[in-house]
Amino acid sequence: MSKHRPELPCLVGAWRRPPNDLQEQEVGGGHKAIHDDATAAKVGLKLAPIHGTVHWSQLTPLLLEAFGPAWFETGSISVHFVNMVGHLQPVRAFLEISGTKQRKVWMEHLDGRLVFDGTASVGQRTEMTMAQTKIAAVKPVKGRLLFHRHPPKTESLELEDARIDFDQVVGPLFPFTHRRKLELITEFHPWYSEEAGASSPWGRPILPPESFNQIMLGMVGGAKGPRFPPIPGDEWLEKALNGRTPVGLFGGCEVILHAGPIFVGEAYQCRRQLVACGETPKAEFRWIKTFLWEKNSKKLVAEMTLQEMQLKNSIENYAELRARSDALQAKL
């Protein structure tokens, strides 16, 4: 039974202890990732959090029970991250039992605190997803953000290659091979493996839910990362930051499959579009949508809408730089 929603009929996953496998993640910008213990402590966190979409794999048995294999073809998952999870902390996933196409999904700590809250579905739906609800609630920014300078609807400049193979390191953001990931995954399924992937309904190995984020995040399989148009008049900011970037984390993530599954060893291409920007007292954020196409057929396979959050206190002179940015905006 769920402690957070004891009144709601639901499918209940097993307790699992996911590992923090991104402590060696390379993010540049003069700092390590938030998944590093020292970096997390420096920005005021009590623990180095696990990469949020790692938890999606714990939903796999529940998604298959609720929606069947079709979820990997036309399914969706959309979550808002609430409370962080540290290395090997036990957590459990839940999926609402109902007759609707879209169901609630969530994860809890031992004490019932939410890890994430969200929605999952298969096929066409009419309800708003969790991410769509959050985007609709974004408030206009007063002044001008320091880390997110492009207006909504700005697109990345070129297509990026994206491919995950069993024995190639996924990329600097995921410093392990896919084979190693399958050794650590909280909910293994034979359909993911090289040895038994041919037994899947599609006759070949597929990516698990947590790897959807990996293949669409960027710099995968040796590819270059995304580039956006330069911002005229931002030379002062580039000079002031001098290559520094803020420490980041995810606030929410959604993946919608249009023509899945996403396969291991298949060549894909990505392109990105900025959806919305905003801020909280502690962070700036942007929602960015990434489209994933099959490289050879040009078929749209999936899309990911990701909330990237940048911590203000990770840039020492943030307040000073933001005041200048706001003042310049006021003159326009």
pLDDT score of 28 more than 90? no
Counting the structural domains of the chain, the total is 1
For residue 5, being part of any structural domain is answered with no
Residue 222 has a pLDDT of 87
Global confidence as pTM: 0.96
Give the domain range for residue 181.
10-122+130-330
How confident is the model over 124-145, as a mean pLDDT? 95
Residue 104 has a pLDDT of 98
Residue 332 has a pLDDT of 80
Residue 55 has a pLDDT of 98
Q: What are 223-270's pLDDT values in tens digits?
A: 888 999 999 999 999 999 999 999 999 999 999 999 999 999 999 999
CATH of the domain at 97: 3.10.129.10
For residue 278, being part of any structural domain is answered with yes
For residue 302, being part of any structural domain is answered with yes
pLDDT band at 331 (very low <50, low <70, confident <90, very high): confident
For residue 1, being part of any structural domain is answered with no
For residue 3, being part of any structural domain is answered with no
Q: What are 72-123's pLDDT values in tens digits?
A: 999 999 999 999 999 999 999 999 999 888 999 999 999 999 999 999 999 9
Residue 124 has a pLDDT of 84
- Look over the chain and give the mean of its residue pLDDT values, rounded to a whole number: 96
Q: What are 154-186's pLDDT values in tens digits?
A: 999 999 999 999 999 999 999 999 999 999 999
Q: How far apart are CA 259 and CA 273, in angstroms?
A: 20
For residue 305, being part of any structural domain is answered with yes
Portion of the chain with pLDDT greater than 70, in percent:
100
How confident is the model over 280-299, as a mean pLDDT? 98
Partners of 290 in the beta sheet?
Answer: 272, 304
For residue 320, being part of any structural domain is answered with yes
